[in-house]
Amino acid sequence: MSDLRDLYQEVIFDHNRHPRNFGPLPGANRHADGFNALCGDKLSLNLKVEDGIIREARFEGSGCAISTASASLMTEALKGRREAEVAELFEGFHRMVKGEPYTVEMGKLAVLAGVSEFPARVKCATLAWHTLNAALHQADQPVSTE
Amino acid sequence: MFDPHLWRRQFPILERKVHGKPLVYLDNAATTQKPLAVLDAERYYFEHFNANIHRGVHALSQEASEAFEGAREKIRAFLGAAHVEEIIFTRGATEAINLVAQTWGRTHLEAGDEILISAMEHHANIVPWQMLCEATGARLKVIPMDERGVLLMDQADHLLTERTRLVGITLVSNALGTVNPVAEIIRKAHAVGARVLVDGAQAVAHVAVNVAALGCDFFVFSGHKLYGPTGIGVLYGKKDLLTAMPPYQGGGDMILQVTFEKTTYNQIPYKFEAGTPHISGAIGLGAAIDFVRSVGLENIAAHEDRLLQEATERAQRVKGLRIIGTAPGKASILSFVLEGIHPHDIGTILDNEGVAIRSGHHCAMPVMDFFSLPATARASFALYNTLEEVERLFQAIERVQKLFLS
């Protein structure tokens, strides 16, 4: 039996109640909207990228505790990172929430590892990351987790 | 006295455990569980007379054909239709609506015509009409509702005009539980010369229907929400309308004669049933209808009302809980939200307690938009649910709040 506390850790509750980097980002030069058709979660992500480095990342929208906390933790993790690192981090994160072995250092993002015990919630955790992927590749269409 | 515990024995799945706890299945508006009578009927067909229908001269084919057509007759009687050929087998309510839109709709609508639906339709009774509008230049109009989830009938009066060709209306809302005044809508629609399609997908397991008394032109439902199999559903249509409609799909069974120059179509209902149908599904649906009739729809409705009433009273005592859909005389559905907790999180935590509910937009995104919600949590009741299970639901909701708000 999967323990709910593996999924809903205190850090996740904290980021759900007080999401970091929440709100508009004036001067953003990367943007994408994400949508989880399963639960209706909507997410809007703005980035400021300079010289291949993510200087600022902020998000807006409404979602469940997992998707909100994941977006909040992601924006924290992105600041100061090189654009080129992001693909590797996303790959590692994706493997972690699916319960597959990964080698990338996850830092605080590791609190979301418990999602792997709840397959129905993997899409909640990855919505922000799919949206990030779209923002960096400047996709015109809103991304969906479907 | 109706005892759900007796009927529960007919549903083997209700004995299973989820996350170590006895299953409390409250997602009946999505699909109901299947009684032994349905499982046995399908198995019996496969074990004893599995064959293709209608053309075989051998014994198995004749027995299969009789069982398949026997199911059609059961459905006719269940719906109170005048003629058995008014019952068309489809894959479900969705396909039945698409069939009407693509055949009757394409031959009867033109630019400037209007289709009227309601604000509480699910996607199956919205999107096929939007596609028809795109193809014909017709316009889609919507009867609004109030914050209880009750249709504003005075506005419906204004929206029904001589331009209205068709009204598509759900008998019971899958997201809110509202039972709509379809008899009144049919009367008013007919007064302006419009046809009416009633979506009975959410209704047939809870509300007795008589299409002849209602006078609706089309009625659709799905087998799997009526304790029957998935992949089988029904379109009822008035005989004269169905006869005049062009076929939907082409293929075997829907023809009388085929040459490379010209094909003569079969009569109704076969004209609309191209290809080998879902024979076991139809037989299973017939068994489901027998089962529901043996329990008694009025007993089922009274029992579910008691569950809904108890659940509603409990819900009103939960701090921060808001019921979505408060129409009087609702059928079997409790949609709700909890302050500060997303429905998806509610769904996961309830599941962990063995309680299966739905969280999401219930394929009715415009309803969610109306209430400015991304989603709701929805508990929906069936004949086998008990007051003890309502108690389990609210114990689990308490657990959700404890976990989130402590």
Q: What is the DSSP string of B8-54?
A: HTT-GGGG-EETTEE-EE-BTTT-----HHHHHHHHHHHHH-----S
Q: Is the pLDDT of residue A146 over 60?
A: no
CATH 3.90.1150.10 assigned to B4-30+297-405: yes
- pLDDT per position as a tens digit, B333-369: 999 999 999 999 999 999 999 999 999 888 888 999 9
A contacts of B361 (beta carbons < 8 Å): 39-40
Q: Which residues of B touch A (CB under 8 A)?
A: 19-20, 341-345, 348-349, 352, 359-361, 365, 368, 374-375, 403-404
Do the strands B321-324 and B263-265 form a parallel or antiparallel pair, or are they unpaired?
unpaired
State the average pLDDT for chain A.
91
Residue B196, Cβ neighbours under 10 Å: how many?
Answer: 23
Using a CB–CB cutoff of 8 Å, tell me whether A118 touches chain B. yes
Q: Confirm whether A146 is domain-assigned.
A: no
Q: Residue B81's pLDDT is what?
A: 98
- A65 to B360: CB separation less than 8 angstroms, yes or no: no
Using a CB–CB cutoff of 8 Å, tell me whether A2 touches chain B. yes
Q: Is the pLDDT of residue A1 over 50?
A: no
Residue B166's beta-bridge partner residues?
B115, B195
A contacts of B375 (beta carbons < 8 Å): 39-40
d(CA B322, CA B33): 28
- B360 to A63: CB separation less than 8 angstroms, yes or no: no
d(CA B269, CA B246): 12
Residue A89, SS3 per DSSP = helix
The low-confidence residues of chain B, meaning pLDDT below 50, are none
d(CA B9, CA B243): 44
What is the band of A3 on the pLDDT scale with cuts at 50, 70, 90? Answer: confident
A contacts of B374 (beta carbons < 8 Å): 39-42, 62-63
State the average pLDDT for chain B.
96
What is the tally of structural domains in chain A? 1
Residue B128: burial class (beta carbons within 10 Å; 0-12, 13-18, 19+):
buried
- pLDDT per position as a tens digit, B244-296: 999 999 988 888 888 888 888 999 999 999 999 999 999 999 999 999 999 99
d(CA A64, CA B345): 6
The minimal CB distance from B342 to the residues A38, A42, A63 is found for A63
Using a CB–CB cutoff of 8 Å, tell me whether A124 touches chain B. yes
Q: Confirm whether A145 is domain-assigned.
A: no
Q: ipTM value, please give it.
A: 0.87
Measured CA to CA in angstroms, residue A102 lies from A96, A98, A121, B23, B397 at distances of 6, 10, 19, 35, 36
- A66 to B20: CB separation less than 8 angstroms, yes or no: no
- B404 to A7: CB separation less than 8 angstroms, yes or no: no
Nearest Cα to Cα of residue B181 among B216, B147, B212: B216
Measured CA to CA in angstroms, residue B255 lies from B120, B247, B264 at distances of 38, 10, 6
Nearest CA in chain B to A62: B374
- B403 to A66: CB separation less than 8 angstroms, yes or no: no
Do the strands A53-62 and A41-50 form a parallel or antiparallel pair, or are they unpaired?
antiparallel
- Which residues, in sequence order, are CB contacts of B52 under 8 Å at separation 6+? B61, B64, B276, B279
Using a CB–CB cutoff of 8 Å, tell me whether A38 touches chain B. yes
The minimal CB distance from B352 to the residues A4, A39, A63 is found for A4
Which residues form the domain of A25? 4-137
- Cβ–Cβ pairs < 8 A, chains A and B: 53
- B374 to A7: CB separation less than 8 angstroms, yes or no: no
B contacts of A65 (beta carbons < 8 Å): 341-342, 345, 404
Q: Residue B257's pLDDT is what?
A: 86
d(CA B155, CA A92): 55
Higher pLDDT, A1 or B203: B203
Q: Which domain CATH number covers A59?
A: 3.90.1010.10
Nearest CA in chain A to B360: A39
- Just list the catalytic residues of B: 363
> Assign residue B150 a region: left if phi > 0, alpha if psi is -120 to 50, beta otherwise?
beta
What is the band of A124 on the pLDDT scale with cuts at 50, 70, 90? Answer: very high
A40 touches B374 (CB < 8 A): yes
The amino acid at B194? A
% helix, strand, coil for chain B, step of 5: 45, 20, 35
B107 touches B132 (CB < 8 A): no
Residue A25, SS3 per DSSP = coil
d(CA B50, CA B58): 12
Q: Confirm whether A143 is domain-assigned.
A: no
B contacts of A38 (beta carbons < 8 Å): 344, 360
Measured CA to CA in angstroms, residue B398 lies from A3, A39, B339, B356, B389 at distances of 17, 22, 13, 15, 14
A64, A67, A124, best to mutate vs chain B, most B CBs in 10 Å: A64
- pLDDT per position as a tens digit, A30-79: 999 998 877 678 899 999 999 999 999 999 998 999 999 999 999 999 99
DSSP line for B283-337: HHHHHHHHHHHHH-HHHHHHHHHHHHHHHHHHHHTSTTEEEE---TT--SEEEEE
B18, B348, B378, best to mutate vs chain A, most A CBs in 10 Å: B348
- B352 to A2: CB separation less than 8 angstroms, yes or no: yes
Q: Confirm whether A11 is domain-assigned.
A: yes
Residue B283's Cα: distance from chain center in Å? 18
Nearest-neighbour CA in chain A from B374: distance (Å): 5
Mention the CATH class of domain B39-294.
Answer: alpha beta
Using a CB–CB cutoff of 8 Å, tell me whether A9 touches chain B. no
Could you state, in order of their start, the residue ranges of all structural domains in chain B?
Answer: 4-30+297-405, 39-294
